[in-house]
Amino acid sequence: MARRLRSPWWVLFFVIFFGALLGSVIAEAVGAYPSLAWLAKDVRAGIDPPLTLDMRVFTVTIGTTVRLNVAILLGIVIAVWIFRLLQ
């Protein structure tokens, strides 16, 4: 019986990242069409505006925002599905 090799965790991370990137491109492309605008409606969570600490010698800025919409979720699902097919 053939044993499947497990990919490292970072490979799955990049697959999810590129899937989210694909979904973001899809959301930007279909956002102009009224019938598909629901795919691009997003929810944002994070630190906005970023927190800035100025110490005169150096400045530290801390901030992150996560954007999530249906197209991004769809892109992640498609990327993981293709990844699983190729293994």
pLDDT reading at 82 higher than 70: yes
Burial class (CB in 10 A: 0-12, 13-18, 19+), 80: middle
Answer whether 0.75 is exceeded by the pTM: no
Domain segments of the chain as ranges: 9-86
Q: Which residue has the tokens 């600490």?
A: 53
- Intra-chain end-to-end CA distance of the chain, in Å: 16
Cα(14)–Cα(29) distance, rounded to whole angstroms? 22
Give 40 or 9, the one with higher predicted confidence.
40
